[in-house]
Chain A
Amino acid sequence: MPMLPRDRIAQAVTQPATRPALVAFATAGYPNAETFLPTLRRIAEHADVVELGVPFTDPMADGVTIQRSSEGALAQGVSLRWIFDRLEQRDFDLGAPLLMMSYLNPLLTFGYRALAERAAKVGVDGFIVPDLPYEESGPLREALDEHGLALVQLVTPATPAPRLETLCAASRGFVYAVTVTGITGGANALPAELSDYFDRVKRAAGNLPVCAGFGIRNREDVARIGAGVDGVIVGSALVEILERGEDPGAFLQQLKSPA
């Protein structure tokens, strides 16, 4: 039996070529919609999992970088449908599992059943939905389950213990441990002491791997944060690299080399 999409994600995080696993986030079609597929391909060559952002008019959990990328992509006509169409047209194998990060309304508008079917067809392995807490996630989770797709659950340092258990048990692919109380791309330094928090999350996650995200910008962050978890998620820093027209592959590669 072929591996389920959500298990592909878990495996890619658990067994990366070099530890920690690297999850690379980019907003689809930003800064240039025309080079979407080659950019995606380049990122996937150097990341263990790719997280593709679906632009939205009101990204309320995101900082200025991802807001700017969202506006820039929308201005070029990028939408969920556009992304699916491009993914379907690609003539190469991605090599790394693909997650989509989207606010809920575009997914709701697409329709959950149609979404899961189309996502599975074009090789999307799962979703991260920052404005969909566990309590409201039943209908989407059910639709994704039908196709073995992951719904990755976020947990935060403020998540109380009983809730942490519930969220980890519900998560698929990996557990997304938010490092800071705040929005993405924060300028503040990462907390010095995260190991207790990571230990709590890992205990609650059991066999499911844990990836840490928010505020991870460079090789030092990757090494330090990565020591306590299975994988790290790099978002705003990569978006800035793409924005400046620099090579995402080289950036991701140096993140993985010893600090």
Chain B
Amino acid sequence: MTDLSADDKAELLRQLIARELPDELGRFGPFGGRYAPETLMPALQRLTAGAQQLLADPDFQAELAAELGSWVGRPTALTPVPTLSARWNAEVWLKREDLAHTGAHKINNALGQALLAKHLGAKRIIAETGAGQHGVAAAAACARIGLPCVVYMGEIDMERQAPNVDRMRRLGTQVVAVTSGDRTLRAAIDEAFRDWVADPRDSYYLLGSAVGPHPYPYLVRELQSVIGREARHQILAACGELPDAAIACVGGGSNAIGLFHPLLGDSGIRLIGVEAGGRGEALGDNSATLATGRPGVLHGAYSMLLFDADGQIQETHSVSAGLDYPGVGPEHALLKLIGRVDYWSATDEQALAAVDELSAAEGILPALESAHALAGAKRFAREYPGSRILIGLSGRGDKDMPTLSQHEVGAYAHVAS
């Protein structure tokens, strides 16, 4: 798999840019596919056909665009950050998904899929959540559209993210505690699939990241690409030129693929995904799947994955619950393989330092997830002084206050990115 020639890689990149991938089997090169229980296969095939048809339908796109405008608050701002830019000796721009309704990019996907579900005749929505951001976005979108929603959430995450549990319930969603497996996001996805297996005809599974069996990685990319399209347009309008680099954090990878995909053809832009380096490089101490994982199958897709010598999925660690996942979307696995995107990692401490730095310098409290992208950007600025950097600020940090409160303000100011 690693023996792709330069021509093979160029051809795969061409296919990605031309949106010829995934292919009909849901493959991005060797990655992706559809590894799901047989009971779900007809439902996944119906969903694929329905998604392809509706995403190409101008009426559906108009309905989605109207809701993205008036309800989500798009386009989100592109914000120059002069103080940070001066400190880093760079020209830094933030794509402000933290300003989107419910506080993160997750709403782009949740709204789009909920609308899709309604058009496909679904009677109820199933979703999973880790930190609660996707759960809140799904709950809000379902309330807006008028579909009942059930969110599966690991009981450890429910404790860590209690305010989000209350938010979902107030939005009319039923939150179900998952007590099996690792009792976090991974187990919540397992449980959401089990629910869907029991009722594949009338239930719609609203998956929150660019992972899972085909068509989810494709569907989520299409719905999140609004980030990159807007950002490209906005930065050209503001400075007449494209950035030298675009940088986003990667857990499952939905905000990153949304920012990167519309920029793949701009060969002058370095694309950098930043994974959670956690507290160290040992297996179990981080969630840096692309940096340290191997190809494997989890949650319906063949992609890079963290697992042990027996094929058992590895528990992961990150200070940021949204990045604390052992897998990654198959399109990222391909982008790494062909070398179009570089994947770096930032540690817990680097991310915590970045939260403080942006908050104090610019009055913007970023999510811990997004802070990984900031840490990566700081490193890029040091390596390439004077460059123009576009950062995907995927969400706001209000939800992280319980975690942040455990660390003194400025405690990690000495940590280099």
Contacts and interface: CB of A to CB of B under 8 A. Distances in A.
A103 B298 CA distance: 9
5 contacts: A60-B194, A109-B311, A155-B38, A167-B38, A181-B198
Contact of A74 (B189, B198, B312): B312
Interface string B175-194: 00000111000110110011
Interface in B199-252: 199-201
Interface stretch (B28-36, B333-341, B379-387): B28-36
A55 to B, nearest CB: 8
A181 B200 contact: yes
B18 interface: no
B297 interface: yes
Interface in B146-200: 180-182, 186-187, 189-190, 193-194, 197-200
Contacts of A106: 310-312
B37 interface: yes
Given A58-B298, A181-B199, A136 B194 contact: no
A64 B302 CA distance: 26
A58 B194 contact: no
B250 to A, nearest CB: 21
Interface of B: 25, 33-39, 41-43, 180-182, 186-187, 189-190, 193-194, 197-201, 296-300, 302, 305, 307, 309-313
B108 to A, nearest CB: 26
A199 interface: no
Interface string A39-69: 0000000000000000011111111100100
A108 B299 contact: no
Contacts of B181: 57-58, 67, 71
Contact of A105 (B33, B194, B298): B298
B297 A108 contact: yes
A105 B37 contact: no
A158 interface: yes
B190 A158 contact: no
A57 B312 contact: yes
B325 to A, nearest CB: 12
Contact of A58 (B39, B190, B201, B302): B190
Nearest to B41: A133
Contacts of B298: 58, 105
Interface string A91-105: 000000000000111
B186 A58 contact: yes
Given A56-B311, A74-B312, 8 more contacts: A58-B186, A60-B190, A61-B194, A109-B307, A131-B35, A131-B37, A155-B38, A159-B42
A181 B39 contact: yes
A103 B193 CA distance: 15
A104 B35 contact: yes
A186 B41 CA distance: 20
A81 interface: yes
A105 B198 contact: no
A159 B201 CA distance: 12
Contacts of A64: 180
A136 to B, nearest CB: 5
A106 B310 CA distance: 6
B39 A178 contact: yes
A158 B35 contact: no
A153 B37 CA distance: 11
A2 to B, nearest CB: 31
B333 to A, nearest CB: 15
Contacts of A160: 42
Contacts of B187: 58
B37 A61 contact: yes
A76 B299 CA distance: 25
A44 to B, nearest CB: 25
A132 interface: yes
Interface string A150-186: 0001111011100100010000000000100111001
B311 A108 contact: yes
Contacts of B299: 58, 60
Contact of B197 (A56, A163, A167, A183): A183
A80 B186 CA distance: 22
A167 B25 CA distance: 17
B46 to A, nearest CB: 10
Contacts of A154: 37-38
A156 B38 contact: yes
A182 B200 CA distance: 9
Nearest to A106: B311
Contact of B297 (A79, A104, A110, A186): A104
B201 A109 contact: no
A28 to B, nearest CB: 13
B39 A60 contact: no
Contacts of B193: 60-61
B296 A131 contact: no
Given A58-B181, A108-B297, A133 B312 contact: no
Nearest to A181: B39
A186 B195 CA distance: 11
Interface string A196-225: 000000000000000000000000000000
A80 B310 contact: yes
